[in-house]
Structure 1
Amino acid sequence: MSPVLEVRGLVRRYGTTTVLDGVDLTVEEHRVVTLIGSSGSGKSTLLRCVDLLEEVDDGQILLDGVDVSDPRADVAAAQRRMAIVFQAFNLFPHMTAVQNVSLAPRVVHHVPAAEADERAHELLRRVGLERFAGAYPDRLSGGQQQRVAIARALAVQPRLLLLDEITSALDPELVGEVLAIVRELADGGITILMATHEMGFAKQVSDQVCFLDAGRVLESGPPGQVLGDPVHDRTRQFLARVIAAGRLV
Structure 2
Amino acid sequence: MTDVLAVRGLRKAFGPAVVLDDLNLTAQEHTCTALIGASGSGKSTLLRCIDLLEVVDDGVIELDGEDIADPRVDADRVRTRIGIVFQAYNLFPHLRVLDNITLAPRRVHKIGREQAEAEALELLDRVGLRNRASARPDELSGGQQQRVAIARALANKPRLMLFDEVTSALDPELVGEVLALIRDLRADGMTMLLATHEMGFARDVADRVCFLDSGRVLEEGPPEQVLRDPVEPRTRQFLRRIIDAGRL
TM-score (norm 2): 0.99
**Distance in 2 (alpha carbons) for counterparts of 1:123 and 1:2:** 27
Provide, for residues 129-151 of structure 1, a one-character-per-residue CA deviation record: whole Å limited to 9, x for no partner: 11111110110000000000000
Aligned to 1:188: 188
Amino acid at match of 1:187: A
Question: What is the RMSD of the two structures over their aligned residues, measured on CA atoms?
Answer: 0.8
Is the 1:33–1:192 contact (alpha carbons within 8 Å) kept by the matching residues of 2?
Answer: yes
Q: Matched residue of 2:148: which SS?
A: helix
Is the 1:6–1:61 contact (alpha carbons within 8 Å) kept by the matching residues of 2?
Answer: yes
Provide, for residues 4-43 of structure 1, a one-character-per-residue CA deviation record: whole Å limited to 9, x for no partner: 1000010000111100001100001101011000000000
Aligned to 2:161: 161
Amino acid at match of 2:13: R
Aligned to 1:209: 209
Identity %: 64
**Distance in 2 (alpha carbons) for counterparts of 1:95 and 1:246:** 40
Provide, for residues 22-77 of structure 1, a one-character-per-residue CA deviation record: whole Å limited to 9, x for no partner: 11000011010110000000000000000000000010000000101011112111
**Distance in 2 (alpha carbons) for counterparts of 1:2 and 1:163:** 21
1:2 CA drift (Å): 4.5
Aligned to 1:95: 95
**Distance in 2 (alpha carbons) for counterparts of 1:105 and 1:204:** 33
Aligned to 2:14: 14
Aligned to 2:83: 83
Q: Matched residue of 2:231: which SS?
A: coil
Is the 1:32–1:205 contact (alpha carbons within 8 Å) kept by the matching residues of 2?
Answer: yes
Is the 1:2–1:65 contact (alpha carbons within 8 Å) kept by the matching residues of 2?
Answer: no
Amino acid at match of 1:153: A
Amino acid at match of 1:151: A
1:79 CA drift (Å): 1.1
Provide, for residues 203-222 of structure 1, a one-character-per-residue CA deviation record: whole Å limited to 9, x for no partner: 11101100000101000000
TM-score (norm 1): 0.98
Q: Matched residue of 1:8: which SS?
A: strand
Aligned to 2:32: 32
Amino acid at match of 2:6: E
Aligned to 1:62: 62
Q: Matched residue of 1:41: which SS?
A: coil
Runs of 4+ in 1 over 6 A off after TM superposition: none
Amino acid at match of 1:40: G
1:181 CA drift (Å): 0.1
Q: Matched residue of 1:4: which SS?
A: strand
Is the 1:7–1:61 contact (alpha carbons within 8 Å) kept by the matching residues of 2?
Answer: yes
Q: Matched residue of 1:87: which SS?
A: coil
1:243 CA drift (Å): 1.2
**Distance in 2 (alpha carbons) for counterparts of 1:110 and 1:245:** 49
Aligned to 1:149: 149
How many equivalent residue pairs? 248
